[in-house]
Amino acid sequence: MSTPSILPTTHTVVSGDTLSGIAQTYNRTLADLLRWNPINDPNQIQVGQVINVADSGEDLEYTVVEGDTVSELAQRFGKRWIDIAAVNRLDDINLITVGQKLIIPAQGVAR
């Protein structure tokens, strides 16, 4: 599974998917997915099932991995780089480090 270029709010299950794998792909927890979806057994998801993977009114916490840039994260999550920089108080958007936790704001904050 690869991370999408723009974070969608749903994921359609394909062969080989697991709920925990879907959660990891979208930087969510299994508890998040269980809260947002009517799933009785997390081990029983079906090909073609649509899983809610985001709560659009909630900020996301993202852990930086090798190769990430603020601009790329903004594109992936459908946000403005300036909002990510503002909420994280980044003086230089070119200075983020692997393992750093960034908030991806649900709403725009920079004016």
What band does 110 get if pLDDT is binned at 50, 70 and 90? low
Distance CA 42, CA 14 (A): 15
pLDDT tens digits, 33-77: 988 888 889 999 999 998 888 776 778 788 898 999 999 988 877
Distance CA 15, CA 58 (A): 29
**Is residue 111 within 8 Å of residue 83, measured between CB atoms?**
no
Query: What's the average model confidence in pLDDT over 1-21?
Result: 74
Q: Is pLDDT above 70 for 2?
A: no
**pTM of the model as a whole:** 0.54
Q: What is the reported pLDDT for 3?
A: 43
